[in-house]
Amino acid sequence: MSDDLQARVERLEARIHELEAIEGVRSAILDYALAHDCGQSDRVADLFTEQAQLDITGFSPDLDTTIKGREAIRAMYTALDKQYDNNPPFKHMVTNCHVTLESETAVAVTYLHQWGGPRTDAGPGGELYQDRLELESDGQWRFAHKRIVSTSTQTVGDAVSNDLTVGSE
């Protein structure tokens, strides 16, 4: 194989790897939304790494929380699902998923569609996910750190934290 052809094949392989990683990250986010909407707390928890952190912020003092570890996250979602007899009324619509990759780590910022909110001059309100995911040995992208942030009273720029940038611990 000529050097030019070899270089082209290597670039194509790298691009395919990148596209597969982006699709894997987006699939994990969509799997989370669907499992959460269907009251499948075990499936939701299995999308997190063992040492994951879940932050819920910007909603209210009684809702904002930080939970650490897959089993604690499972317990939180199980309790939430039980409130609705495992048939919750949630209907997540996720859009605008921007993924940044670095090796086997990714950061994604994803909007949750919801119109309105007190700062309508800043655009639609709603929520966003800011996630750091890791590619685990089984080939599954899992959440190492998930932030669920209310943007109803702040802009997206104000809501996004630099603490979840690619490579942060």
Question: How far is residue 62 from each of residues 17, 59, 116, measured CA to CA in Å?
Answer: 42, 8, 22
| pLDDT at 86 (0 to 100) | 87
Identify the structural domains of the chain with CATH numbers, from first to last.
3-164 (3.10.450.50)
Tokens matching residue 93: 């619509």
- pTM check: above 0.95: no
20 — pLDDT class (breaks 50, 70, 90): very high
Q: Among 20-24, 61-65, 150-154, which range has the highest average pLDDT?
A: 20-24
- To the nearest 10°, report the CA torsion of 104, 22, 106, 49: -70
| pLDDT at 119 (0 to 100) | 44
Mean pLDDT of 133-158: 89
Residue 47: enclosing H or E segment and its boundaries?
A: none
As beta bridge partners, residue 134 has: 105, 142
Query: Helix or strand or coil: residue 66?
Result: strand
Q: Give me the residue label for tokens 């809501």.
A: 159
- Tens digits of residue pLDDT in 42-80: 999 999 999 999 999 887 788 899 999 999 999 999 999
Mean pLDDT of 101-122: 72
| pLDDT at 165 (0 to 100) | 53
Question: How far is residue 32 from each of residues 46, 89, 99, 129, 138, measured CA to CA in Å?
Answer: 9, 15, 16, 11, 18
Query: Helix or strand or coil: residue 34?
Result: helix
Tokens matching residue 122: 């800043």
| pLDDT at 73 (0 to 100) | 98
- What is the layout of strands, in order, in the sheet containing 94-102? 65-68, 48-57, 141-150, 126-135, 105-113, 94-102
Is the pLDDT confidence value at 160 over 60? yes
168 — pLDDT class (breaks 50, 70, 90): very low
Residue 148 or 89, more confident: 148
Residue 81 or 157, more confident: 81
